[in-house]
Amino acid sequence: MSLDSDDFPENSRTAVEAACLQMQKDLRLFLLGILRSPHLADDAWQRTVVLALQSSHAARPETIRGWLFQIALNEARKILRENRKQSALTDPASLAGASSYVALRDAPSFTSPDFHVIRQETRKIVQECLKSLPPEQQEVIRQRIYLGRTFTEISADLNLPLGTVLTWCRRGILRLKDDPRLKDLMKD
């Protein structure tokens, strides 16, 4: 999609609509990452499109991607706040728990079909890149992300301080993110 700056103000609504369509996959994934619930993410996505179209006059072609992300984020946060209020009504203890947040409780894992947009070849390349990491980083990432174990469990299992396990995981993930083979793939 090309957003031509010259005729953008006249066709801003059409351009925003086209941008929503083009960025739909990324924006929905982004919303799912924040809300963790496919239903809430769908709700937020609809709200985002409606709001974006309503305020399409404020969109600029050079910043439209960031603009849409901000609208999506705001809508997702509104939904999270509404959910927290609702859960506080039904379960007042939920407000007291610092680490509890509503959407995460019944969250799908990254293995759910909603994340199947990640292509098989991407998974393959990620696995190859993972093998290039030091073994201890590979093991912590595998246990935390693939097996879904907590850092506390991993550190107890490996008989290592929690901080060491955290550091290995963080270094490994950041190295993966910097891997040139993955950088372009993650932009797709």
Task: Tell me if 86 contacts another protein by CB under 8 A.
Answer: no
Task: Tell me if 174 contacts another protein by CB under 8 A.
Answer: yes
Give the 3-state secondary structure of residue 160: coil
Candidate residues 78, 112, 156, 181; the one interacting with another protein per rule CB under 8 A: 112
Q: Which stretch binds another protein (CB under 8 A): 3-11, 12-20, 48-56, 72-80?
A: 72-80
Short-list 177, 171, 113, 184, CA closest to 144 = 171
CA angle 172, 31, 183 (to 5 degrees): 35
Task: Tell me if 18 contacts another protein by CB under 8 A.
Answer: no
Candidate residues 13, 101, 158, 160; the one interacting with another protein per rule CB under 8 A: 101
Task: Tell me if 85 contacts another protein by CB under 8 A.
Answer: no
φ/ψ bin of 108: left (φ > 0), alpha (ψ from -120 to 50), beta (otherwise): beta
Sites for another protein among residues 113-152 (CB under 8 A): 113, 115-116, 118, 120, 122-123, 126, 130, 141, 144-151
Instruction: Tally Cβ neighbours within 10 Å of residue 185.
Output: 15
Total residues belonging to the chain = 188
Name the residue nearer to another protein (CB basis): 53 or 173.
173
Q: Is residue 44 classed exposed, middle or buried when 0-12, 13-18 and 19+ CB atoms within 10 A define those classes?
A: buried
Q: Which stretch binds another protein (CB under 8 A): 5-13, 37-45, 47-55, 159-167?
A: 159-167
